[in-house]
Amino acid sequence: MDIVLDIHVCEKLIWYVEELLRWNRRINLTSIDNIDEALEKHLLDALTLLPLLNRGERLLDMGSGAGLPGIPLSLAMPILGVCSVDRVFKKIAFQQHIARLLRLQNFEARTDRLQVLAAKEGYRTTFDVVTARALAELRDLISLGMPFLKPAGRLIAMKGPEGTRELSDCLDLLERQGLVVEKQQELRLPMSGAERTLLVLKRCR
Ligand SMILES: C[S@@+](CC[C@H](N)C(=O)[O-])C[C@H]1O[C@@H](n2cnc3c(N)ncnc32)[C@H](O)[C@@H]1O
């Protein structure tokens, strides 16, 4: 997948996935409970965003669940500032446990509803990048994500094959919100061949 990472980063990434599956036996965090599948469909999938990010950017991961894609991105790119938000406390407790043990300096996990966080100072219009995986249809992601974007910020929606249809269904909304499609990237995960669509929408006014 053209992603080259330091061996120490890889060890931490794999430890994170193992810890996720360990916690998953006690509290339900993810439907995947097999290590090979989790490495591909959680870890590699999250890392597909790396080439789309720039050093020093501030990123919001909306509805991050067990920390995906925010935790792998924060490990692989320590120069990124990641804020990871989910409304479910136990999921954020797991993310905070990971951040503590891996000493993630560039990572903040908070329990909040996105609609509430969007009104808070320090969060509204302060992010260069807003990401979401498996949170909602593109139309709803745009409504949820727009309040957080800086001028010229990007919303990156991680979608399956349905991404293309969802995009063409909301071209009117993009126009109204002042968003343009900066990139539409289709890819396949290397083991299962599962299809993914990355949609990068840039705020232009
Ligand atoms: C299907 S999970 C996806 C989790 C993670 N992004 C992933 O790909 O594994 C969707 C998550 O979004 C969270 N969520 C849904 N609506 C939300 C809202 N309005 N505010 C904050 N979190 C929300 C849910 O609690 C859930 O953990």
Q: Is the CB of 90 under 6 A from ligand 1?
A: no
Could you list the residue range(s) of the whole structural domain that residue 41 is in? 7-203
Q: What is the pLDDT along the chain (205 residues), one digit of tens a residue?
A: 889 999 999 999 999 999 999 999 999 999 999 999 999 999 999 999 999 999 999 999 999 999 999 999 999 999 999 999 999 999 999 999 999 999 999 999 999 999 999 999 999 999 999 999 999 999 999 999 999 999 999 999 999 999 999 999 999 999 999 999 999 999 999 999 999 999 999 999 7
Asked if the structure places residue 144 within a domain, the reply is: yes
Check pocket membership of 124 for ligand 1, CB cut-off 6 A: no
d(CA 201, CA 125): 15
Structural domains counted in the chain: 1
Q: Report the distance separating Cα 117 and Cα 190, nearest Å.
A: 36
Is 107 contained in some domain? yes
Domain containing residue 104: CATH number? 3.40.50.150
- Asked whether residue 1 is assigned to any structural domain, the reply reads no
Measure 63 CA to ligand 1 centroid, in angstroms.
Answer: 3
- Any domain includes 24: yes
Ligand 1 atom at minimal distance to the Cα of residue 86: 22
Question: Is the CB of 156 inside a 6 Å radius of any atom of ligand 1?
Answer: no
Q: Is 73 touching ligand 1 by the criterion CB < 6 Å?
A: no
Show Cβ contacts of residue 2 under 8 Å, excluding neighbours closer than 6 positions.
Answer: 51
